[in-house]
Amino acid sequence: MRRLTVVMSALFGAGCGGGAPLLHPAHPLPEEHVAMGAGVSSQFVTGDADSRIADARAAMSDGAVDSDAERDRYVGGALAHSLLAPGLAPWVGARAGLGYSAEAGMTYSGRAVRIDGRYALANDSLAASAGLGASGVLARPGSDPPTEARGGSDEQVPGLDVGGVSGFGFDVPLLVGWRSTASLFQVWVGGRGGYERLRGTAVIRIDTDPTQADEAPFEAERWFALGVLGFGVSIHPVTVAVELDAGYQSGNGSIQLTGATGGRARHSAKLDGVTLAPGAAVILNLWK
């Protein structure tokens, strides 16, 4: 139990992966019903975006980035990592039934906070819902001490600290679903499209001296279209939900790095790739 507590504390304190599954069925909660839950999510990146992250690591393989070509490779990986955020993250959510087949919710996923509302057409077994979510990507100032070296071999993009970068986004989820008698089993499937924009200051350490930090202006954006598949098992008042969000993501952005002469040069990149974001949570169903 002590080991589990330590693992969960570390995950909730440091997890910042970009996976943020919905983890709710198509059927809305009844009026004055509340559901609260916690779990874990992850984000896996494939394709061009994954290759760019690998290129950024390769550019730093000798401990520094020297040429303009290596800087371009590094920036491409830094943008891919910042926009898509592969890795583990906590998932904490709460939802409330508003009546008239409407529902509202809030989710925290380490990297961002999301609020949403939705409306559903439903009968006892089938439902279709449409929603709108708004997200705030959280800055994490001071996530690395200014004099800290570039990190170990487990660091996905060595020398990159985007703790000073924040942003906003929106998404539109569309779901259809089925549930059995007494909601013992629930299945939902659908799609989810959205947009996200990031701005701020990234701390970059790519010089020979790792304590030399470049506070580089950073901006990036991405569009995504995801498929959603989820399954839930309920033994009142507890529901165990699992979900997979998978699909295509496209992004672009720039980082302004300080050159050898002291002036700043804008390095830009475009990226795309397929992401897989599985998640699971234990949810407690309550009443107001």
CB 265, CB 255: distance < 8 Å: no
More confident residue, 223 or 206: 223
Strand partners, 230: 188, 243
Classify residue 153 by burial, with Cβ atoms within 10 Å: 0-12, 13-18, 19+: exposed
Of 57-66, 222-231, 246-255, 266-275, the one with minimum mean pLDDT is: 57-66
pLDDT higher than 70, residue 229: yes
pLDDT higher than 60, residue 241: yes
Domain count of the fold of the chain: 1
Per-residue pLDDT, 15: 55
Classify residue 3 by burial, with Cβ atoms within 10 Å: 0-12, 13-18, 19+: exposed
Alpha-carbon distance of 199 to 109, in angstroms, equals: 19
Alpha-carbon distance of 70 to 178, in angstroms, equals: 51
Q: How confident is the model at residue 172 (pLDDT cuts 50, 70, 90)?
A: very high
- Which range marks the domain in which residue 96 is found? 2-287
Alpha-carbon distance of 94 to 104, in angstroms, equals: 9
